[in-house]
Structure 1
Amino acid sequence: MSFKMPKYISPDFSLPGFVNAPDAKLVPSPKDTVAPKNYHSTTIFPEYFKVNGQWKLAEESRMDCVAVYEDDKVVIKEARKLKKGDLVFVGRTEDAIEGIFVYTNAFVEETEDELDSFVFRQGRTRETAYSMDYNFLAELLKYEKDNGHVTWVLGPACAFDSDSREAFSKLVKGGYVDSILAGNALATHDLEAAFIGTALGQDIRTQRSMPNGHYNHIDTINAVRLHGSIKSFVENEGIDNGIMFECVKNDVPFVLTGSIRDDGPLPEVYGDVYEGQNAMRDQIRKSTTVICMASMLHSIATGNMTPTYRVMGDGTIRPLYFYSVDISEFAVNKLRDRGSLTVKTIVTNIQDFIMNISKRLDII
């Protein structure tokens, strides 16, 4: 199979419902961080706002934010970033009657024959056959390597197994990773594996718990803090393998956001959640594909700032592909329940997922 980009079909604004719609109402923010009453809350879908008789697309969006009219553009802001006097779009209908249109079916793909009304195995569970998903994702990654920006959201399990850790490192080296979002644990255990050969005190090859192994991750954090940064630690300690090593070597940005239960943490970990959220969103606003693996909280956080589309530099609009991979059906379904309605879920062991994708990309 080969990847084919779905076509974006713009709304037909010549239809009477759009032509006769009023301009969207704008109301100033009453004070910093506060939206006016009846503000419009954004979704994951493309949204158009009628201003001076013209329908304008919010070119960069995320759910649960407010739409602001600024410099003849529709700008999407978190409420915490509102300033007094910002012109905020108000109205809570989405079908153009208040000058606001939410477009939920924008992309055209090849259609299948109509399915019977009674069919088996339409959910995404442990029993689902995922071979076609792996094939499609491998072709998508080949396309994105030259045309897009792929962000991976990693939980610590991605560093626990030597084979999958090595395979993901090769994904970074091979140019299939444009940024990584994770927590303190992923980076800590990956560096621990390179520094000591264990992850959370367990040998990454034999899975044997090492004597005094519970010290290993905090010894690693301590060593990194001594050097002042992950980059300095990698360079000065002669680290030559792993996910973080390849990120440093290949200038792949990573955003590490903290948790109340973190050890250490590593120097680069954001302790302020809003600074961390800003840094994550800086990567997401570039992303054309997002793949979340074995980290429910980071996946939900990322999902909350990931729309279904991306406006490219040449003005074309394309879908933003969003995957969630976890061994737990609860974890992937939780993401969908929190508003990421178009997420593609894969229920499997994360090490198996990494190995399957890597084999299809011929990097192992």
Structure 2
Amino acid sequence: MSHSRTVEIEGHIIDSGTMQRCFGAVMDLGGSFDVEQFDVGKHEDVESYCRMAVSADDPETLQAILHELHQNGAVLENPTDVELVAAPADKVVPPNFYSTTNHPTEVLYDGEWIDVERIEMDCALIVEPDGGPDGDPRAYTKVLNAVEEDDLVATDQSGIRVNPPERPRSGGGAFGFMQGGVSSERPSESTIREVAEELREVTEAGGNVMVVAGPAVIHSGAGDALAELVEAGYVDALSAGNGFATHDLERSLYGTSLGMDVETLEHPRKGHKHHIWTISEIIRAGGIEAAVEDGIIGEGVMYQCVQNDVDTVLAGSIRDDGPLPDTITDAVEAQNAIRDQAHDADIVLMLATLLHSVAVGNCLPSTTKTVCVDINPATVTQLLDRGSAQAVGMVTDIGTFVPTLAEFVLEGEEAGANDEAAITEDSDA
């Protein structure tokens, strides 16, 4: 006996590859399909539409196929309102709860499609019937440990519509749709110039630039360049670990990073103790901000973050020395702090850190522009595979990338200032 359901897909589904993915998913999972209607959008601003019947030999296979199609934006024909079940206890979700993707999502409630706020992968989807500012229905995500008893949790995928980002009709430059390919042979200088231009545009538009940085940024000698970007106003949020901050502060105090002189690559006598001495000095001062105010720390990334009021989150780990008093040692508290940063970001630079970047990537909507740079291609691949539709991946030395990026950003800023001055002179004349 065959089991069948009809689904609908619409949008720029041909050039975005959506139709190909949907057809492939049905066949890969052992089902079959019959296209009942296919209207092709023949102009740039006209969307395509497809209705197809999907069949499988058993209900379980059909459900698996429908789930995969749902992830690619398909919805059941004549969808019904989302099914909501009250959470039985704090941190407990109902069976068959809907686990979110990182794509823009809507829920059908009381006959109306509602945008889901703060979209993020692997969360529960909560609906408040009168939670909006005017008493309107509201939908948003919650991580499992934040679910409260009696929260109305969406189950299965009925009444839920996922909208994967589509390929833009205009050229996307470095941030072309689903660019995701990783290669050390990509023309790096031109790509870095495009990233620099994007940073300037986001900053000039009042957007938010988030940097996720690993200790290698300091150890490779790129810390000065990152500090320049912070000082010039091109970093709004910094997410890092205890190690990154300790390396940076050690450099300010002793001129070393993990005991190595970054300029000469020499290891001074007792240099291996510098990082723990640094931590003790910051603890004695009462924290990084206090150390800056007292003149103990006078340069570096953390110094510039304090001076320029950059939102900084240092998330701890089990291997941390000290840690610094500013480091958040509670994992859930750290996740929530990173989550707040990620949801405000318009572009994220992930610099030479796998685990920390994965943590941030888990919180990002697929529409956030992402730049991932690491000398290890496996790191870049893993991060880009987390689902951003607008991503740049570069396999290169972070000690080269950050200084070059800073040079191009500040060079463009200077050129813009010169152009503005020239325009002013012409108008005065």
Normalised to the residue count of structure 1, the TM-score between the two structures is 0.85
Quick one: higher RCO (CA 8 Å, sep 6+), 1 or 2?
1
Amino acid at match of 1:345: G
Match 1:359 to one of 398, 401, 407: 407
1:279 alignment counterpart = 337
Question: CA separation of 1:137/1:122 partners in 2, compared to 1, >3 Å: closer, same or farther?
Answer: closer
Indicate the SS of the match to 1:57: strand
Per the alignment, residue 80 of structure 1 pairs with: 145
Determine whether 1:49 maps to 2:107: yes
What SS class does the counterpart of residue 102 from structure 2 fall into?
coil
Q: Which amino acid aligns with 1:154?
A: A
Distance 1:64 1:78 in 2: 7
Tell me the CA shift for residue 129 of structure 1.
2.0
Instruction: Look up the match of 1:156.
Output: 215
The reply to whether residue 91 of structure 1 matches residue 156 of structure 2 is: yes
User: CA–CA distance in 2 between the matches of 1:81 and 1:143?
Assistant: 36
Q: What is the CA–CA distance in structure 1 between the aligned matches of 2:199 and 2:155, rounded to whole Å?
A: 39
The structure richer in helix per residue is 2
Residues 214-250 of structure 1, C-alpha deviations (whole Å, 9 max, x = no match): 1101000000000111011122244221100100111
**Deviations 1:85-122 (CA, angstroms, capped at 9, x unpaired):** 10011114xxxxx211111134624159xxxxxxxx99
**1:99-178 counterparts in 2 under 5 A?**
99-106=159-166, 108-110=168-170, 123-147=181-205, 148-162=207-221, 164-178=222-236
Gap regions ≥5 residues in structure 1: 1-8, 93-97, 113-120, 310-319
SS in 1 for 2:117: coil
Deviation at 1:18, TM superposition (A): 7.8
The alignment partner of 1:36 has SS state of coil
- Which secondary structure does the structure 1 equivalent of 2:410 belong to? coil
The alpha-carbon deviation at position 334 of structure 1 amounts to 2.0
**Structure 1 Cα separation of the partners of residues 379 and 410 of structure 2:** 29
Task: Please list the CA deviations of residues 281-308 of structure 1 after superposition, one character each: whole Å capped at 9, or x if unmatched.
Answer: 1111111111111110001001000012
Distance 2:283 2:295 in 1: 12
User: SS at the partner of 1:108?
Assistant: coil
Match of 2:321 in 1: 263
In the alignment, what sits opposite 2:40?
Answer: none
Q: Secondary structure at the match of 2:344?
A: coil
Distance 2:81 2:162 in 1: 15
Matched, 1:321 2:369: yes
Within 5 Å, give how 1:330-349 maps onto structure 2. Answer: 330-339=378-387, 343-349=391-397
Over residues 41-85 of structure 1, what are the superposed CA-to-partner deviations in whole Å (9 max), with x where a residue is unaligned? 111110111011111111311100011002111110001100111
Do the aligned partners of 1:153 and 1:182 also contact (CA within 8 Å) in 2?
yes
Superposed CA deviations along residues 114-141 of structure 1, whole A, max 9, x for unmatched, are xxxxxxx994122222333212211110
Contact persistence 1:304–1:340 (CA under 8 A)? no
Q: Does 1:204 align with 2:269?
A: no
Query: Contact conserved, 2:259 with 2:272, CA < 8 A, in 1?
Result: yes
Would you say 1:68 and 2:126 are equivalent positions? yes
The more displaced of 337-346 and 247-256 is 337-346
How many residue pairs are counted as aligned between the two chains? 331
Percent of residue pairs identical: 36
Partner of 1:314: none
1:10–1:59 CA distance, 2 compared to 1 (3 A): farther
Counterpart of 2:146, as a letter, is: K
Once the two structures are superposed, the pairs formed by residues 17-56 of structure 1 within 5 Å of their partners are: 20-56=78-114
User: Which amino acid counterpart does residue 155 of structure 1 have in structure 2?
Assistant: G
SS of the residue corresponding to residue 362 of structure 1 reads helix
Instruction: Sort the Cα spacing of 1:292 and 1:74 in 2 relative to 1 into closer, same or farther, 3 A.
Output: same
* Distance in 2 (alpha carbons) for counterparts of 1:151 and 1:145: 11
The one-letter code matched in structure 2 to 1:101 is R
Q: Distance in 1 between matches of 2:167 and 2:146?
A: 31
Pick the structure with greater CA Rg.
2
Provide the C-alpha distance between the structure 2 equivalents of 1:229 and 1:205, rounded to a whole number of angstroms: 27
Amino acid at match of 2:209: V
Q: State the match for 2:358 in structure 1.
A: 300
Distance of 1:152 and 1:126 partners within structure 2: 22
Deviating above 3 A after TM superposition, structure 1's stretches of 4 or more consecutive aligned residues are: 9-13, 15-19, 336-343
Unaligned runs of 5+ in 2: 1-44, 53-74, 132-136, 173-178, 415-429
